[in-house]
Amino acid sequence: MTGVLAIDPLLFGELKWMPLVIVALKVLVIFVVGLVGTMFMVWFERKVIAGMQNRIGPNKAGPFGILQTLADGVKLFFKEDLLPDRADRFVFRLAPFLAFVPAFLVWAVLPLGGDYRDGNRGLVEWFGHATRVQLADPPVGILLVLALSSIAVYGIMLAGWSSGSKYPLLGAVRATAQMVSYEAALGLSLAAVLLTSGSLSTVGIVGTQDSLSNWNVVATGVVPFVIFVIAATAELNRPPFDLVEAEQELVGGFNTEYSSLRFALFFLAEFMNTITMSGVIVTLFLGGPQPLAIGDWTADIPLVGNGLEGTIWFLLKLLLFLYIYVWFRATLPRLRYDQLMDLGWKVLIPISLGWFLLLAALRLGRDEDWNVWLVAGVSVAGLLVAAVVMFGAMKVSGRNRQQGAVY
């Protein structure tokens, strides 16, 4: 069982009470912070969008309307819980949890702070025990995020199907196709990060990003980062990829028939996914809790210990991405469905695959001491040939489809 226990340095050696208490405390903190963070996110999104649209936004409940989400939540709790006649009872009840639980579990593998400077592996002292500001560091690390996001697909899909009504079903079919398609691009750009960091565990990935030039956004050459952000937006079903709940076409999408608490669970899951996905991006590409460091110079926050400083850096980077997501929603118009699929399959997947191959070739060249420019030139030429062949094939198939030769 050593491998299972390796998820936290606390759990090595014989089991004592204190480590268990610390782990329970971490679970509690993550749960509470997750819920409060989601509340904050809903308010933040409404307020920022209001600002961008020259409105005031929520301003009645509490200072700056910050308690608006709490009021909405209380209202949802006291609403009637409907169960449609044609619904599949068991699956209808199960679906919200399948959406909600994975959204929470992603928190477990994200390093939320800790001291990663000077080769420290994020270890901090709590009550005399060495631990990490992270619930677990399983050997599969970041793959857990992919696995959980593939379970989250079930939540949406089953919710739409079990409602026994056509709009939710259409929304669910759209959502599933979209999420499965973009998961491929997501995984391929993730592979570029794993290739550069050489580890699956989030601690290892954060550990290699110790200065700005080692941040994976720079080290992998920006392209995987851009693709990851686009694919993550699609994975989250956020605008401009929110065809899943396009009100003009589908009433409300997969959750049309849901009300009260079950709807609240979907709502929570959606916003929490936005936060956790931003956290994943920060961890993978922007060094997570690592401070901003250029060469020998490190941006040090005064008066704060290194352990706590990690959390502050993480939150700052997280806020940046939350703002970007809101910005997307305020600026970009929704894509048409065929544009969505074309972007995913014909643009993002080929580019991320090609970029991954290029990175792998450069890496091999560096390990074997080959001439960098020669390796880069040959690989780029090969990729260009592949791209020309692919565009030729797409052109032919497009022409065939227009002439109606094949169907």
Shortest Cβ 297–another protein spacing (Å): 28
Q: What are phi and psi of 8, to 5 degrees?
A: -150, 130
Name beta bridge partners: 130. 125
Shortest Cβ 325–another protein spacing (Å): 24
**Which CB, 160 or 291, lies closer to another protein?**
160
Q: Which stretch binds another protein (CB under 8 A): 21-29, 51-59, 196-204, 312-320?
A: 196-204
**Alpha carbon distance 76, 80 (integer Å):** 9
CA angle 30/36/40 to nearest 5° reads 135
Size of the site for another protein (CB under 8 A): 46
Tokens 């379970």, residue located: 151
Q: SS3 of 166, please?
A: helix
Residues between 77 and 136 with contacts to another protein, criterion CB under 8 A = 88, 91, 121, 123, 130
CB atoms under 10 Å from CB of 311, counted, come to: 16
Shortest Cβ 230–another protein spacing (Å): 20
Residues between 125 and 184 with contacts to another protein, criterion CB under 8 A = 130, 137-141, 143-144, 146-147, 149-151, 153-154, 157-158, 161, 169, 172-173, 176-177, 180, 183
**Which CB, 179 or 318, lies closer to another protein?**
179
Contact indicator for 215, 285 with CB cutoff of 8 Å: yes
**Which CB, 4 or 303, lies closer to another protein?**
4
Shortest Cβ 124–another protein spacing (Å): 13
**Alpha carbon distance 234, 210 (integer Å):** 30
For CA atoms 300, 305, 309, 310, the dihedral sign is positive
Q: Pattern of binders to another protein over 313-352, x per CB under 8 A?
A: ----------------------------------------
Name beta bridge partners: 297. 294
Shortest Cβ 179–another protein spacing (Å): 9
**Alpha carbon distance 234, 244 (integer Å):** 10
**Which CB, 292 or 357, lies closer to another protein?**
357
**Which CB, 44 or 161, lies closer to another protein?**
161
Residue 3 interacting with another protein (CB under 8 A): yes
For CA atoms 100, 112, 58, 335, the dihedral sign is negative
**Alpha carbon distance 220, 228 (integer Å):** 12
Residue 405 interacting with another protein (CB under 8 A): yes
**Which CB, 58 or 350, lies closer to another protein?**
350
CB atoms under 10 Å from CB of 359, counted, come to: 21
Q: What are phi and psi of 129, to 5 degrees?
A: -120, 140
**Which CB, 39 or 193, lies closer to another protein?**
193
Tokens 């580019």, residue located: 351
**Which CB, 10 or 351, lies closer to another protein?**
10
Length of the chain: 407
Residue 2 interacting with another protein (CB under 8 A): yes
**Which CB, 109 or 343, lies closer to another protein?**
109
**Residue 98 exposure: Cα atoms within 13 Å on the Cβ side:** 18
Q: Pattern of binders to another protein over 201-240, x per CB under 8 A?
A: x-xx------------------------------------
Residue 12 interacting with another protein (CB under 8 A): yes
**Alpha carbon distance 199, 194 (integer Å):** 6
Name beta bridge partners: 294. 297
**Alpha carbon distance 160, 98 (integer Å):** 13
**Which CB, 158 or 232, lies closer to another protein?**
158
Positions that interact with another protein (CB under 8 A): 1-4, 6, 9, 12, 88, 91, 121, 123, 130, 137-141, 143-144, 146-147, 149-151, 153-154, 157-158, 161, 169, 172-173, 176-177, 180, 183, 198-201, 203-204, 404-407
